[in-house]
Amino acid sequence: MSSSKWPVVAALTALLAVGVSACGSGDESASGAGGGELSGAIRIDGSSTVAPLTEAIAEQFQADNPDVRVTVGTSGTGGGFEKFCAGETDISDASRAIEPEEAEACKKAGIGYEDVHVATDALTVMVNNQNPVTCLTVDQLNAVWGPDSEISDWNEIPGLEADYGEELALYGPGTDSGTFDYFTDEINGEEGATRKDYNNVGENDNATVTGVEGSPGGMGYAGYSYYIENEARLKALEVDAGKGCVAPSVETAQDGTYAPLSRPLFVYPSKEALKKPEVRGFVDYYLENATGVAEGVGFIPLTQAQLEESQAAAAKAGA
Amino acid sequence: MLEAQSARYGEKAIEGLLAVCAILSVLTTTGIVLSLIGPTIGFFEVVPIGDFLFGSDWTPQFEPPGFGVLAIVVGTLSVTLWGMLFAIPVGLGAAIYLSEYARPRVRRTVKPVLEILAGIPTVAIGFFAVSFILPEVIQPLWPGEFLGGAEGRPFMALAAGLGIGLMIVPIIASISEDAMSAVPRGLREGAYALGATRAKVAVRVVFPAALSGIAASIVLAISRAIGETMIVVLAAGSTPNATFNPVEAIQAMTAYIATTATGDISTGSLDYKSVFAVGTVLFLMTLAMNVLSIRLVRRYREVYE
Amino acid sequence: MSPRNRLAAAGARATTRAMLRDQPRGDVIRNAAFAGLLLLAVLIALAGLFALIVQAFAKGSSALSPDLLTNPPSTAFPDKAGFRPAIGGSLELIAGVILFVVPVGIGAALYLEEYANEERWWNRLIEVNIQNLAAVPSIIYGILGLAFVVRGPLDLGFILAAGSMTLALLVLPMVIIAAREAIRAVPDSIRQGSLALGATRWQTIRRQVLPASIPGIATGVILAVSRALGETAPLLLVGATVFVTFDPTPFGADGYSALPVQIFNYAVRPQEEFQALAAAGIIVMLAVLLAMNSFAIWLRNRYEQRW
């Protein structure tokens, strides 16, 4: 074994490292030569609910503009705003409106923004196909999901007309998600207020579907896309917020009658970022294509009126 | 060791450089301790340690928050228990077979296969656990409503436990087999000469002689099981639940750290610090197991040398 | 031999034969059952591995195609989705790991084997440290990376180089331990012969010990690297973003991805196509790991020197 192996090994290692990084690196030419050749990088982070829509749009955008690099993170709505208000991201995905503390932080850091409504989600309460119940009021939902709830059987739900003696099996999303925040806020009156003994599915909303499907007394809540993908396997409850039972659907979410569980989904571009032509281009592209892509990823598309409002907001932010 | 006659300055410099490389390991440990300590102390400034150790619910993001870590510690231990119940018989059985019964050709085929098993990434095992073990093995075979029944459950401690068990079988098998091979042939041959059967030799002579090595392998396996993340994230669930019931979903400490630290919490918040507090508990638990296992290994090595 | 001794010998022979041949029925069955149980244990372990691989193929075969390696990930079009940036990211990550772990690991091993006086407490401390670090859970390394590499003193941000460093720290103890064994296997006579001829310690190491231990070290490095390739948990904490469609760069601030992280992300999505993609990704990863480990074993067998 001669010592001439050394340089070979070293050279191969170096070659491997250099070769791989050479393949990967592209140059970052800042703004493209005027006239349509967009390039640069766009950093997006935030809600994991909105992310699939943003990702789908980003894919198509990058196909049309190959010199732009878009990354979409899923740190959650809150985590996304934190990075956004620290200037680390260009656009924040959000499944709820920005909160006062977060707005304060952005103001302190000098980050200006505008909330752009890009789609609507209809948070759906799902039950097992065998379940005869078709509608629950907000109060009944609160009775089941509230922090002090001790209801363990469907027949214990106050004011229930149907007779269904099955044991309750509850499934809900992770506590990091905007879905959780929104549901607890609307149904239980306070974000984070919920009974403790439900099956927490964490990142894996699909588990809500499997869980409810497999338990006769199952009840779970998740975004509309999870219901729509699995329509045959589950039943969506109608929700009565005081004006009658309303089922979740594209129409009822768009006109707001599916209350209180229809929620707007936003992207928040920063004013700073909008100065970059690639970000400007992306936001415009987003709005142009959002209505087309939304249903594909399981969301409710904007109405024409909502779309125009959003486009105005985006224009204002970039001004 | 003979010292070279002509010492050069370069020699000292090189020795120093190499020492620096070695010291990096100490720095890493210091780094780990430092990165955990600050936020953990900050955490305990807000949450009384009694609540942490004895509180009943681990619900840091609910309103009002609960910080009883027992729920996720029990979750981790539950998965570890089911994993060990699978891995100890299978691992030891394989070790005894390879050491006392197998012909050389069989050994040469089985040992590499076990090494392959050891190298499977945990995300693959987790995926296997949740998409195959849970629906195709546990749910069909589970007796009816026993302990609540296995139907309709997307996550299960047992599924994650079996996945972890599969992951640690190679650890137990290979270290135990090493320990058994270290038992001098003389002991075996003496027993055979007295008329003992192979089974008797394996169980009554070799096994007790290799006991500290076997114990070391089990302790090491427990430590690995406690520290495992991906399998529990994929198969055990996110519901903190202080139960050893195999069909229920639980949340392990590692899963809590992984899902919370990548999710939606602001740095500096109490949630964020809770991640580090749990990390500290995890680090201390595995450290204790590792120290124990090293002691045991040293003991079995010493016996015959 | 006297007639008495002959009789005694015959008697002993007969007794032994009787003991060994005519075992009580119960014993024979028990022995066979025991052996059977042991074999069962081995078969269960093998069956588990087999089932895992077969299931990955069964689930992932629909998604297997060359596209997997060349296409970027896709949310909107799962049938066109691929793992390209994730594979690129993983390759760059392990290139970084190798660059760090080879010099530092070999350096530390050389120090501990050739220079360190075992009596000194600080050297024993280093040894104990390395053994402990080898068994610290990988997610704790993720915390370490988050606190010191991504933020903290190095403050590199969520870039690929940070992920590389974190993984490197994770596998460093393994490399040190393997390198030490390889160096230790070189017989002392080689060293002493070299020193007797007037070489300095470093010359001895550089020209005799190190070249002889390279195959063992290389095997250790490859095994450590295959461990790094499959690690997910630490990367989740140091920012391996999941959705990147372009090829990542080591210091690029635009985010990066890695193969096991991408598999994880697909695995938690409900649609069947993503489940198939996750399984297909697992097949790709297993294939790469198998290739690497086979290479390591070949290397060890080919170049192993018997002293």
- Residue A14: inside a domain, yes or no? no
Q: Are residues A79 and A135 in the same domain?
A: no
Element (H, E) at B116: helix B104-118
Structural domain tally of chain C?
A: 2
Q: Are residues A179 and A196 in the same domain?
A: yes
Structure tokens at A210: 């499997």
Residue B275 φ/ψ, nearest 5 degrees:
-55, -40
Q: Are residues A233 and A137 in the same domain?
A: yes
On the question of pLDDT at A2 being above 80, the answer is no
Q: Are residues A46 and A101 in the same domain?
A: yes
Q: Are residues C238 and C273 in the same domain?
A: yes
Q: Are residues A51 and A116 in the same domain?
A: yes
Q: Are residues C157 and C230 in the same domain?
A: yes
Q: Which domain holds residue A138?
A: 124-247
For the beta carbon of residue C306, count every other beta carbon within 10 angstroms.
3
Residue B230: per-residue pLDDT: 93
Nearest Cα of chain B lies from the Cα of A33 at a distance, in angstroms, of 38
Q: Which residue of C has its CA nearest to A17?
A: C95
Residue C99: per-residue pLDDT: 93
Q: Residues C88-120: pLDDT tens digits?
A: 889 899 999 999 999 999 999 998 888 877 778
Q: Are residues A128 and A239 in the same domain?
A: yes
Q: Residues C211-242: pLDDT tens digits?
A: 888 888 888 898 889 889 999 999 988 876 66
- Residue A131: inside a domain, yes or no? yes
Residue A27: per-residue pLDDT: 36
Q: Which of C200, C203, C262 to mutate against chain B (most B CBs within 10 Å)?
A: C200
- Residue A243: inside a domain, yes or no? yes
- Residue A31: inside a domain, yes or no? no
Q: How confident is the model at residue A201 (pLDDT cuts 50, 70, 90)?
A: confident
Please indicate whether, in this complex, the C-beta atoms of C270 and A226 are within 8 angstroms of each other: yes
Q: Are residues A108 and A141 in the same domain?
A: no
Boundary residue ending a domain (A214, A247, A280): A247
Residue A101: per-residue pLDDT: 83
Please indicate whether, in this complex, the C-beta atoms of A210 and B260 are within 8 angstroms of each other: no
- Exposure string over B17-45, b if 16+ CB within 10 A, otherwise e: ebbebbbbbbebbebbeebbeebbebbee
Spell out the domains of chain B, with CATH numbers in brackets: 69-303 (1.10.3720.10)
Residue B8 C-beta-side C-alpha neighbours within 13 Å:
9
B114 vs A202: which has the higher pLDDT: B114
Structural domain tally of chain A?
A: 2
Give CA–CA dist B218/C83, Å, rounded: 37
**Residue C166: which region, alpha, beta or left (left: phi > 0; alpha: psi -120 to 50)?**
alpha
Nearest CB neighbour to C236, from listed B262, B282, B294: B262
Nearest CB neighbour to C98, from listed A5, A13, A296: A13
Nearest CB neighbour to B266, from listed A78, A169, A193: A78
Q: Which of residues 79-98 of A touch C (CB under 8 A)?
A: none
Q: Are residues A132 and A241 in the same domain?
A: yes
- Residue C9: inside a domain, yes or no? no
Q: Are residues A205 and A273 in the same domain?
A: no
On the question of pLDDT at A16 being above 60, the answer is no
Residue A8: per-residue pLDDT: 53
- Residue A29: inside a domain, yes or no? no
Nearest CB neighbour to C241, from listed A1, A23, A71: A71
Length of chain C measured in residues: 307
- What is the percent of chain A with per-residue pLDDT over 70, rounded to a whole number? 88
Q: Are residues A223 and A303 in the same domain?
A: no
Residue B208: per-residue pLDDT: 86
Q: Which of residues 94-153 of C touch A (CB under 8 A)?
A: 95-96, 98-99, 102
Q: Are residues C172 and C271 in the same domain?
A: yes
Residue C156 φ/ψ, nearest 5 degrees:
-80, -15
Q: Are residues A149 and A106 in the same domain?
A: no
**Residue B237: which region, alpha, beta or left (left: phi > 0; alpha: psi -120 to 50)?**
left
Q: Are residues C210 and C139 in the same domain?
A: yes
Task: Please compute the mean of the pLDDT values over residues A105-132 and round it to a whole number.
Answer: 90
Give CA–CA dist A152/B288, Å, rounded: 41
Angle at A85 between CA A178 and CA C253, to 5 degrees: 95
- Residue A3: inside a domain, yes or no? no
- Residue A130: inside a domain, yes or no? yes
Q: Are residues A46 and A82 in the same domain?
A: yes
Please indicate whether, in this complex, the C-beta atoms of B62 and A196 are within 8 angstroms of each other: yes
Minimum mean pLDDT among A10-19, A39-48, A75-84, A112-121: which range?
A10-19
On the question of pLDDT at A13 being above 70, the answer is no
Q: Are residues C209 and C290 in the same domain?
A: yes
- Burial (Cβ within 10 Å: 0-12, 13-18, ≥19) of residue B230: buried
Give CA–CA dist C169/C153, Å, rounded: 16
> Scanning the structure block, which residue is given the tokens 């290799």?
B210
**Residue C36: which region, alpha, beta or left (left: phi > 0; alpha: psi -120 to 50)?**
alpha
Q: What is the pLDDT along chain B (305 residues), one digit of tens a residue?
A: 555 555 567 788 888 888 888 888 888 888 899 889 988 999 999 889 888 888 888 888 787 788 999 999 999 999 999 999 999 999 999 999 998 888 889 888 888 888 889 889 999 999 999 999 998 888 889 988 888 888 878 899 999 999 999 999 999 998 898 888 888 888 888 888 887 888 888 888 888 888 888 998 899 899 999 999 999 999 998 888 899 999 988 999 999 998 887 755 556 678 788 889 999 999 999 999 888 888 887 776 655 54
Please indicate whether, in this complex, the C-beta atoms of C232 and B229 are within 8 angstroms of each other: yes
- Burial (Cβ within 10 Å: 0-12, 13-18, ≥19) of residue A187: buried
**Residue B13: which region, alpha, beta or left (left: phi > 0; alpha: psi -120 to 50)?**
alpha
Q: Are residues C31 and C145 in the same domain?
A: no
- Exposure string over B199-216, b if 16+ CB within 10 A, otherwise e: bbbbeebbbebbbbbbbb
On the question of pLDDT at A87 being above 80, the answer is yes
Please indicate whether, in this complex, the C-beta atoms of B279 and C260 are within 8 angstroms of each other: no
Please indicate whether, in this complex, the C-beta atoms of C260 and B121 are within 8 angstroms of each other: yes
The CATH code of the domain that includes C282 is 1.10.3720.10
- Residue A107: inside a domain, yes or no? yes
The CATH code of the domain that includes A200 is 3.40.190.10
Q: What is the pTM of this model?
A: 0.84
Q: Which domain holds residue C261?
A: 67-303
- Residue C292: inside a domain, yes or no? yes
On the question of pLDDT at A299 being above 70, the answer is yes
Cβ neighbours for A272, distance < 8 A, ≥ 6 positions apart: A87, A111, A112
Q: Which residue of C has its CA nearest to B18?
A: C107
Give CA–CA dist B71/B58, Å, rounded: 6
- Residue C3: inside a domain, yes or no? no
- Residue C285: inside a domain, yes or no? yes
- What is the percent of chain A with per-residue pLDDT over 90, rounded to a whole number? 18
Q: Which residues of A touch C252 (CB under 8 A)?
A: 25
